Copies of this chain bind each other. A is one copy, B any other.
């Protein structure tokens, strides 16, 4: 399957909404510069096209396999992984002092998007290390940092995040895996974990499992959970992978998509683990890693949506059906208004979500790098607010855009040859893993919105209002500014409703719908910004058209969404559990 990165769109964003110059001006980025970063992105585009994209079909067809207790990845994966690790693609985010390149989050997000668009199963294999490195850098002892960060950077070890158990999915507090402290200070972990991406594979000798487990003395629920590093192979005296640790892949899931990425049931039998941070602070310490992985799901989603959109754009100019051209032949289907409506719907979500994703990554860099502490904190809170919108919104958008690409291909979209249906199957998990979207809605409404009595939300709204005011007088954007103003007011009303009912059944009932409204407003904001930028460019008019389209076809729903978000739980309470039963 061919893949081309949307380099023009990326460059536009790096000049305008999320200026690379501001990132490079951070003291923390003194070791790099814009030229180098542009070179990294261009090279990533080539690698994605030439090395990752050719793996995508075989990844789906052959899948990962578990034979004789060993997991093998699809043909071509090990070679490509070795080459890309050698070329430094696993070390982009890692700290300089541990052999990494310490490139900004914005760059890492872009690279993740590109590899995901080319082959998301391979991207999952390649980029496991950096979220793990984040949590190690933040919370592990210096000894553990010195030991593991270089291995994650050079790709000689990959990493996993090991949380879920059969009885503990969205409800992490139900985790049972036990961690028994030993006399030497290590822990023995025993239990069964499921849905572990890259739990075993043949890409690197070492795998570092980042595991949530329960200490015997710990409190019940999530406060009794601690975080451990559990290597697949114990280290010998020179720090190299030695004897097997007590952890193994017992089972491989057969999945709807992402077949090239092994999803394992992992059994821990008195496996040696090393505590990260303090006992009982496992979930809190995992926070940075979970945030990084949620941002990564956004990058995966935008990558797949973008690849599906490109394929559809190629097809609609090639496929001729209906009408009559000047030469009497049927017309390319892009000439049909309804096809163009579908393409514009695909683009407003794909490019709008990319802008939102980069905005979050850019603010993450500001949060980490700004010396002005107040400004850094504002950026940090804005990232926290945007993350659930991106994780849930981009994952939904990826599924929708992939499905629209199938529909534009007709029967050719349903068969495997064009590779379009694979996008839909691969993308379907994005709404599920790293916190199912309903969990994102709860996070948004119960935590992010309520923080400091709505302060972050008011900041978000003020930023949008400022951009609306700046766009006043732009005749191209009259409908857009009006619709966005109205939608923001609807969201403010719904926010007030939620803030007045913290943690209530009413708030829970409406949270996913509130989130959808917030997603629409956030993406509408992006389109206002994109249409307002570089007005002299030849692309400006087309951006303004897409902004108008977003207002007319998406923001038009804001009143209805606000009403639905504020319906409360009364009707749902009448539909009591015992009445909603199977026949």
Task: Please report A residues at the B interface, Cβ cutoff 8 Å.
Answer: 4, 6-9, 164, 167-171, 174, 194-195, 253-257, 263, 310, 313-314, 316-317, 320-322, 330, 332, 334-341, 343-344, 347, 399, 403, 406-407, 410-411, 413-417, 421, 424-425, 428-429, 431-433, 436-438, 441, 505, 508-509, 511-512, 542, 545-546, 548-549, 552-553, 556-557, 559-560, 563-564, 567, 569, 571-575, 577, 579-583
A558 to chain B, nearest CB (A): 9
Chain B residues near A569 (CB, 8 Å)? 337
A163 to chain B, nearest CB (A): 11
Chain B residues near A437 (CB, 8 Å)? 407
In the complex, the answer to whether A411 meets B424 with C-beta atoms within 8 Å is: no
In the complex, the answer to whether A169 meets B508 with C-beta atoms within 8 Å is: no
In the complex, the answer to whether A169 meets B321 with C-beta atoms within 8 Å is: yes
Given contacts A411-B194, A509-B341, contact A417 B254 (CB under 8 A): yes
In the complex, the answer to whether B416 meets A583 with C-beta atoms within 8 Å is: no
A210 to chain B, nearest CB (A): 18
A313 to chain B, nearest CB (A): 4
In the complex, the answer to whether A583 meets B7 with C-beta atoms within 8 Å is: yes
In the complex, the answer to whether B579 meets A552 with C-beta atoms within 8 Å is: no
Q: Told that A314-B582, A337-B569 touch, could you supply 8 new A-B pairs with CB distance under 8 A?
A: A4-B582, A9-B583, A169-B411, A253-B417, A338-B512, A340-B575, A414-B428, A557-B560
Nearest B residue to A553 via CB reads B564
Chain B residues near A195 (CB, 8 Å)? 411
Partner of A571, one of B9, B399, B406, B545: B545
Chain B residues near A406 (CB, 8 Å)? 256, 428, 432
Chain B residues near A170 (CB, 8 Å)? 321-322, 410
In the complex, the answer to whether A255 meets B337 with C-beta atoms within 8 Å is: no
In the complex, the answer to whether A8 meets B564 with C-beta atoms within 8 Å is: no
8 A-B pairs, CB-CB below 8 angstroms?
A: A4-B582, A174-B330, A255-B416, A256-B425, A337-B569, A406-B428, A407-B437, A407-B438
Chain B residues near A8 (CB, 8 Å)? 583
Chain B residues near A332 (CB, 8 Å)? 577
Nearest B residue to A410 via CB reads B169
Chain B residues near A421 (CB, 8 Å)? 255-256, 428
Partner of A256, one of B414, B548, B560: B414
A306 to chain B, nearest CB (A): 9
Partner of A337, one of B399, B413, B505, B542: B505
Chain B residues near A549 (CB, 8 Å)? 571, 575
Nearest B residue to A4 via CB reads B583
Given contacts A322-B171, A583-B9, contact A564 B556 (CB under 8 A): yes
Partner of A317, one of B253, B553, B577: B577
In the complex, the answer to whether A542 meets B432 with C-beta atoms within 8 Å is: no
In the complex, the answer to whether A407 meets B425 with C-beta atoms within 8 Å is: no
> How far apart sit A552 and B567, CA to CA, in the bound complex (Å)?
8
In the complex, the answer to whether B438 meets A338 with C-beta atoms within 8 Å is: yes
A578 to chain B, nearest CB (A): 9
Nearest B residue to A338 via CB reads B438
Given contacts A9-B583, A340-B580, A574-B545, contact A320 B410 (CB under 8 A): no
> How far apart sit A429 and B433, CA to CA, in the bound complex (Å)?
26
A540 to chain B, nearest CB (A): 12
Cβ-closest 10 pairs across A and B: A313-B582, A337-B509, A256-B421, A171-B321, A254-B416, A334-B577, A253-B415, A556-B560, A195-B411, A337-B572
In the complex, the answer to whether B415 meets A254 with C-beta atoms within 8 Å is: yes
Nearest B residue to A541 via CB reads B574
Given contacts A321-B171, A432-B407, contact A335 B577 (CB under 8 A): yes
Nearest B residue to A346 via CB reads B580
> How far apart sit A335 and B577, CA to CA, in the bound complex (Å)?
6
| Residue picked from A8, A413, A572, most chain B C-beta under 10 Å | A572
Given contacts A170-B321, A553-B564, A575-B344, contact A313 B509 (CB under 8 A): no
Nearest B residue to A422 via CB reads B256
In the complex, the answer to whether B338 meets A441 with C-beta atoms within 8 Å is: yes
> How far apart sit A407 and B435, CA to CA, in the bound complex (Å)?
12
In the complex, the answer to whether B563 meets A556 with C-beta atoms within 8 Å is: yes
A393 to chain B, nearest CB (A): 15
Nearest B residue to A413 via CB reads B432
Nearest B residue to A336 via CB reads B508
In the complex, the answer to whether A579 meets B542 with C-beta atoms within 8 Å is: yes
> How far apart sit A153 and B335, CA to CA, in the bound complex (Å)?
45
Nearest B residue to A258 via CB reads B414
> How far apart sit A208 and B436, CA to CA, in the bound complex (Å)?
48
In the complex, the answer to whether A581 meets B313 with C-beta atoms within 8 Å is: yes
In the complex, the answer to whether A321 meets B174 with C-beta atoms within 8 Å is: yes
Nearest B residue to A563 via CB reads B556
> How far apart sit A485 and B89, CA to CA, in the bound complex (Å)?
60
Chain B residues near A317 (CB, 8 Å)? 577, 581-582
Chain B residues near A579 (CB, 8 Å)? 542
| Residue picked from A316, A334, A505, most chain B C-beta under 10 Å | A334
